[in-house]
Copies of this chain bind each other. A is one copy, B any other.
Amino acid sequence: MNAQTPVFELRDEDELSLDLIEAQYALRESRDQKNAKSVLVLVSGIELAGKGEAVKQLREWLDPRYLRVKADAPQRLSSDQAFWQSYTRFIPAEGQIVVMFGNWYSDLLATAMQDPKAFKDSTFDQYVQKMRDFENDLRQNHVHVIKVWFDLSWKSLQKRLDQVDPSEQHWHKLHGLDWRNKKQYDTLQSYSQRFTDDWFIIDGEDEKRRDQCFAQYILQTLQALPEHPTQVEQTWQQASIPKELLVPDQNVLEKEQYKDQLNELTRKVAEAMRCDKRNVIIAFEGMDAAGKGGAIKRIVKKLDPREYEIHTIAAPERYELRRPYLWRFWNRLNDSGKITIFDRTWYGRVLVERIEGFASTVAWQRAYDEINRFEQNLTDCQTVIVKIWLAISKDEQARRFKEREQTLHKRFKITEEDWRNRDKWDQYLEAAADMFEQTDTANAPWHVIATDDKYTARIEVLKAILKQLNVD
């Protein structure tokens, strides 16, 4: 048994059930509260070790209305999807418990076991590290992840296989694993050694103890959920504001020249995105009225709407606020196709949410690394991310605001809030500066386009996309 695994004594089942239900209700009551939490239980292990039975028993002891068991057969890791992509829809909301039977580890195992000789240990270990980082980010965002591995000795496994009903044998042979094959069993066990040291290990030998261990571990988890972190570790070093943000370019592109360039570049951009084998994500941030909408219009000019999706990001809804802040972006990516454009993005966490105090200091300070990992996971899987910041001068913004106010059908674009945001101009510049310093990564660099000239901005946006796609 694993060194970390606490030993639980058998308890009276009714009392255990009562405690579990009370803990479950307390979790549910936490919704929308200061220390709201959810719990995600990843379950994996040796076939016939009894994980299915333990989960069924847990369902008996808990209130099943607020427990979701998501159990899929493992799928091989895909080369163009991050390992979490097919699971994020089932990440629990505040107050919920989700048990994931199929999870990123079972996918990793299925992939590695397919051809263990070709699958390098170092690749395996890299995946495990990424998965742990992802789980840790979930925990920081109040989804408490625990992992439970059900173990079973070779001898016991064979004995249980002998007793299995013929119709079940078919099931247990699924997914290309032959549990009668000692070599395969050993390979799987040696893989499990590589990642289960932060798992709670349950010995599947004793059925009664097995179910209780599982339930008691979950109870212990529910009763000792950590409070949301508030401690900021060190003084924040404000990055200096890039010069171009303070004094945007004042050159003006002539209309004729603009039209010629636009025509050529829109064609090139459409062709480049269409022909690239990778997925393309274009992420826009920038000052209000800096021209994001106009730039997006030109990007898609020569594309058919079936080729892309545009997500214009408004304030999150309540059910979105009950999940990690990246959740609504994960889902939008899952629902989109090859080309996805975001008008405002996950960077809201370190911009508006930082400035308005919607995210705590510790939360926005942590978000840079979380975002970097999120983007790295995507770019690791055949995805190009083009991040564009559109900057204008404060005077130019005032000019555009007033123009909007004077144009009837543009009035909806300008509200009291925009003027209030404008009062925080310097704070936005500071937040942007920090964002560039922390998230201008090699795999997903920022393209800062700072100009008061709309034509120039649009042309530069198109050039930035081509550059990121490595097209001349």
Interface residues of A (CB under 8 A from B): 14-18, 21, 25, 51-52, 55-56, 59-61, 63-67, 69-73, 89-90, 101-102, 165, 167-168, 170-171, 267, 270-271, 274-275, 293, 297, 300, 302, 304-310, 312-314, 317-319, 335, 337, 343, 407-409, 411-413
Contact = CB atoms under 8 A, between A and B. Distances in A.
Copies of this protein in the assembly total: 2
Given A16-B409, A21-B412, A64-B343, 10 more contacts: A15-B409, A18-B411, A65-B313, A71-B308, A165-B267, A168-B270, A171-B304, A317-B319, A318-B318, A318-B319
B64 A274 contact: no
A71 B306 contact: yes
Given A60-B297, A64-B343, A305 B71 contact: yes
Contacts of A71: 304-309
B72 A302 contact: no
A286 to B, nearest CB: 16
Contacts of A310: 59, 64, 69
A167 B267 contact: yes
Contacts of A300: 56
A267 to B, nearest CB: 6
Given A21-B409, A52-B305, A337 B167 contact: no
Contacts of A73: 306
Contacts of A64: 293, 310, 312, 343
Contact of A412 (B25, B170, B409, B413): B25
A92 to B, nearest CB: 14
A177 to B, nearest CB: 13
B56 A165 contact: no
A222 B373 CA distance: 43
A408 B25 CA distance: 15
A126 B74 CA distance: 38
Contact of A170 (B51, B274, B309): B274
Give the 7 A-B CB pairs with smallest separation, nearest first: A17-B409, A18-B409, A167-B271, A71-B305, A71-B306, A64-B312, A65-B314
A19 to B, nearest CB: 8
Main secondary structure of the interface of A (DSSP, over half): helix
Name which of A274, A306, A408 has the most chain B CB atoms within 10 A of its CB. A306
Contacts of A307: 71, 171
A310 B63 CA distance: 13
B302 A56 contact: no
A16 B55 CA distance: 58
A334 to B, nearest CB: 10
21 contacts: A14-B407, A14-B408, A18-B408, A51-B305, A52-B304, A56-B297, A63-B412, A65-B313, A65-B314, A69-B305, A71-B304, A71-B305, A71-B307, A72-B306, A73-B306, A102-B306, A165-B267, A167-B274, A170-B274, A171-B274, A318-B319
A358 to B, nearest CB: 18
Given A65-B312, A409-B17, A167 B275 contact: yes
A67 B274 CA distance: 24
Contacts of A171: 274, 304, 307
A434 to B, nearest CB: 26
Nearest to A14: B409
Contact of A168 (B72, B302, B306): B302
Nearest to A304: B52
Contacts of A413: 63
A389 B101 CA distance: 30
A370 to B, nearest CB: 25
A138 to B, nearest CB: 20
Given A64-B343, A69-B310, A412-B63, A101 B305 contact: yes
Name which of A25, A63, A64, A66 has the most chain B CB atoms within 10 A of its CB. A64
Contacts of A102: 306
A304 to B, nearest CB: 5
A354 B212 CA distance: 42
Given A14-B409, A293-B64, A412-B21, A101 B314 contact: no
Contacts of A101: 305-306
Contacts of A56: 297, 300, 305
Contacts of A267: 165, 167
A448 B307 CA distance: 50
A323 to B, nearest CB: 12
